Amino acid sequence: MAKTKRIIITILLRLLAFGATLSATVVMVTSHESAEVMNIKFSAKYSNSPTFKFYVTAEAIATGYGLIVLFLSSRRSFDRLIVILDVVIALTLTSSISAALAVAQIGKKGDTHAGWLPVCNQVPKFCDHVTGALIAGFVAAIVYLVLNLYSLHVFLTPLFPV
């Protein structure tokens, strides 16, 4: 009974994380907008910034990993490897979301000390698109963290007299 409950919770969490990473990747890749301001053409794509390219790569890797693990989660022999890989993927997701958030915050508010103007006034739809992708990535990072703590709890419980 406890074992089926454990399997159901794990599969639900993994499905949620898979959906979140997939939507983050797709929304970020399809975000582009062009605007003409005083004869200067502003064209904003995700590939203009190395940080967003890193973000898309990390989320895509996490999506592929989630898909593979969803099909493998019934096999016993991969348990330890999956726990270790889960920790690595959760770390990658947190780092990519924090890097993308840092750059997106500069894009929205600018940096007066460095002389960088905010770009969200010229390309507002691009900014909204990127915000959506960042929210999905944030949810994915939190779900992976919860999944890790749950696997730790399940993995370590048989060793305790508690």
The distance of closest approach from Cβ of residue 111 to other proteins in the complex, given in angstroms and rounded to an integer, is 7
Which residue carries 């490897």 as its tokens? 81
Spatial distance between the Cα atoms of 21 and 25, rounded to a whole number of angstroms: 6
- Does 73 help bind other proteins (rule: CB under 8 A)? no
- Which of 95, 108, 132, 146 binds other proteins (CB under 8 A)? It is 95
Nearer to other proteins, 73 or 148 (CB): 148
Nearer to other proteins, 44 or 74 (CB): 44
- Does 149 help bind other proteins (rule: CB under 8 A)? yes
Spatial distance between the Cα atoms of 114 and 75, rounded to a whole number of angstroms: 54
**DSSP conformation letters of 67-127:** HHHHHHTT-STTHHHHHHHHHHHHHHHHHHHHHHHHHHHHHHH-BTTTTBPPSTTT-HHHH
The distance of closest approach from Cβ of residue 158 to other proteins in the complex, given in angstroms and rounded to an integer, is 10
Tokens (6 digits) for 126: 């691009």
Binding footprint of other proteins on the chain (CB under 8 A): 43-44, 48-51, 54, 84, 87, 90-91, 94-99, 101-103, 105-107, 111, 113-117, 119, 145, 148-149, 152-153, 156, 159-162
